[in-house]
Structure 1
């Protein structure tokens, strides 16, 4: 069953239940009010009769006076103990036969159903004691003929209103269901088109109602935006990676063809070719490892958080790099230890990436500063090399971006290091800041939270 049909039926059933309850309450209150009004009128008549009643009058005088109070379909009785009727006047013999007299010493009223000529009919009966020294009571009975007519009219009105409300509920429920389901239907159609074509597509939002359905459609469109963005990044990554691999592969192929043509007869050419092939193959290997690191970072959400002393970590990294590159790198700190909670291997990777860039693009001393703020630890790496043009700083974190393509080619850079570093810092809820001036060097500031509950959890 369709959701629209379910909504339509449920709203109609609910409306019918409400109407049935309302109809019952209206009918009950109508009957109660009407009977109470008739009861007050009949009791007033009984009191008027009692006020003018004289116990010394003969029977021939009492009954004519009682007849003066008769209305249509009524009886009036004077009853003594043991339900003995001493006086009775009526203009409705059937009513008089159906209702037996009853003596009472208190004021009473009741309604009864009797079988009349046209079916069942309701009768109102009131009883009052006559307090003139004799043990007698007055009883008046009256058919509520008008009440039955009014009941039928009310039933007809309520029935008609119920049928009309049901029809309107069905129509309104269908309209409401269509209105509610329209964005969902659009989403379903869009998803089916995406499934068939394989091309992401947004939902067209016609009315900005700012309700849950609008929020759902907007969320879907934002998801499509991110999907398109990721697909574009993926295509760009494949294109850039292919471009990066194309050059070393071309060099390897060229030197391999040279060796195949000339063989190993020319020792100098052979050595040059072997060296070039080895160099480019090594560069491809490093580039592949970088690609794998980048792919892992894009899919990784969990970090191996441990307690780290930044001073000890930086001392270890600097010692290794000094031995490999034979460069002077100075570490400055005023407090030891400087402790943070982070993934040690990934933080080490970031520091090595930043120091490797400083070593590649500077010839003078490199300085590393460690400091601790209230909520963050700061690592500052400062070199005095060629620097970065101001208009290039915003682009250096993009994949495969290199400020100086020729120089980066010589040093073996892939343009992925800073992108990976920024991604790692983002996973740690930190941030990376670069200040540089062309020809004067570069200062990189790395801020890491000392303790991040979201990461720790």
Structure 2
């Protein structure tokens, strides 16, 4: 069953339930009000009778006096204890026969249903004592003939109104269901188009109603934006990776062809070819490792958080790099130890990436400053090299972006290091900032929050 049909049926059933309750309340109040009005009229008639027969209560012609107060389809009785009827006047023998007299010492009323000529009919009976101490009570009964007619009219009106309201409810429910389902139907159609074509597509929002359906459609469009952005990044990644691999593969193929043509006869050419092939193969291997690191970081969400002594970690890194590159790298800190809670291997990877860049693009000393305050721990890495042009700073964290492509290719850079570093710092809920002036050097600042445990 379609949702529109369900909505239509549910709204109609709900409306019918409400109408049935309303009809019941209206009918009940109508009957109650009408009977109360008739009851007041009958009690007023009883009071008039008591005043009229007050002085002739024991007269022989009291029934003639009572006849003056009789109305259509009614009876008037004077009753003694043990329900003994002393006097009775009536113009409705069936009514008088159906309703037995009852003596009372209190004012009371009741309604009864009797079997009449045209089916059941409601009768109103009132009773009240005539005088305290004289052991007589007055009883008046009357058919509510007009009430039956009014009841039938009211029933007819309520039935017609219910049918009319049901039709309106069906039409209104259908309109409401179509209005609610329109953006959902558009979304379904768009999804089907995406499924068939494989191309992400947004929903066209015609009316900005700012309701839940608008929010749903808007959320879907934002999701499509994210998908398109990720697809674009994926396509860009494949393109950039292919471009990066193309050059070393071309070099390897060229030297391999050279060896195939000339063999190993020319020792100098053979050594040059072997060296070039080995260099480019090493470069491809490093590039592949970088790609794998990047892919793992994109999918990784859980860090291995442990307590780290940052001073000891930096000293260990500097010892290794100094031995390899023979460069002056200075470490500055005021407190020892400086502890943080982080993933040690990944923080080490970030520091090595930044120091590797500083070593590649500078020839002077490199300085590292460690600082800690209440909120965060800060790592400064400063070099005095070629620097970065100001217009390039906004792009340096992008994948495969290199400021000086020729120089980077010579130094073996893939343009992924800073992107990986930023991703790792983001996983630690931290921040990374780079400031630089061309020809004066570059300053990198890592900000890590001082938390007992960092949730990824």
Q: TM-score, normalised by structure 2?
A: 0.97
CA contact (8 A) 2:56 2:62 kept: no
Q: State the superposition RMSD in angstroms.
A: 1.3
CA contact (8 A) 1:55 1:132 kept: no
Map of 2:29 onto structure 1:
29
Matched, 1:319 2:319: yes
Map of 2:299 onto structure 1:
299
Map of 2:352 onto structure 1:
352
Q: Secondary structure at the match of 2:61?
A: helix
Q: Secondary structure at the match of 2:127?
A: strand
Q: Secondary structure at the match of 1:201?
A: coil
For 1:452 and 1:416, the matched residues in 2 are separated by 30
Distance 1:261 1:95, change over 3 A: same
What are the equivalent positions in structure 2 for 1:157-176 lying under 5 Å apart? Answer: 157-176=157-176
Distance 1:57 1:238, change over 3 A: closer
Query: Once superposed, which parts of structure 1, at least 4 consecutive aligned residues long, lie more than 3 Å away?
Result: 54-60
Matched, 1:343 2:343: yes
Map of 2:418 onto structure 1:
418
Matched, 1:16 2:16: yes
Q: Is 63-72 or 78-87 further displaced after alignment? A: 78-87
Question: How far 1:81 moved relative to its partner?
Answer: 2.1
Map of 2:364 onto structure 1:
364
Question: How far 1:60 moved relative to its partner?
Answer: 4.4
For 1:319 and 1:132, the matched residues in 2 are separated by 122
Map of 2:248 onto structure 1:
248
Map of 1:142 onto structure 2:
142
CA contact (8 A) 1:380 1:443 kept: yes
For 1:305 and 1:198, the matched residues in 2 are separated by 40
Q: Secondary structure at the match of 1:387?
A: coil
Question: How far 1:386 moved relative to its partner?
Answer: 0.8
For 1:440 and 1:134, the matched residues in 2 are separated by 126
For 1:133 and 1:451, the matched residues in 2 are separated by 96
Matched, 1:101 2:105: no
For 2:161 and 2:152, the matched residues in 1 are separated by 14
Q: Secondary structure at the match of 1:381?
A: strand
Q: Secondary structure at the match of 1:106?
A: coil
Distance 1:98 1:410, change over 3 A: same
What are the equivalent positions in structure 2 for 1:3-402 lying under 5 Å apart? Answer: 3-54=3-54, 60-131=60-131, 134-402=134-402
For 1:406 and 1:180, the matched residues in 2 are separated by 59
Question: How far 1:374 moved relative to its partner?
Answer: 1.8
Map of 1:408 onto structure 2:
408
For 2:307 and 2:133, the matched residues in 1 are separated by 108
Question: How far 1:200 moved relative to its partner?
Answer: 0.5
CA contact (8 A) 1:364 1:384 kept: yes
Q: Deviations for 1:74-95, whole angstroms, at most 9, x for unmatched residues?
A: 1111112222222111111221
For 1:229 and 1:142, the matched residues in 2 are separated by 86
CA contact (8 A) 1:341 1:456 kept: no
Give the number of aligned pairs. 456
Q: Secondary structure at the match of 1:139?
A: strand
For 1:402 and 1:57, the matched residues in 2 are separated by 124
For 2:132 and 2:419, the matched residues in 1 are separated by 113
CA contact (8 A) 2:428 2:455 kept: no
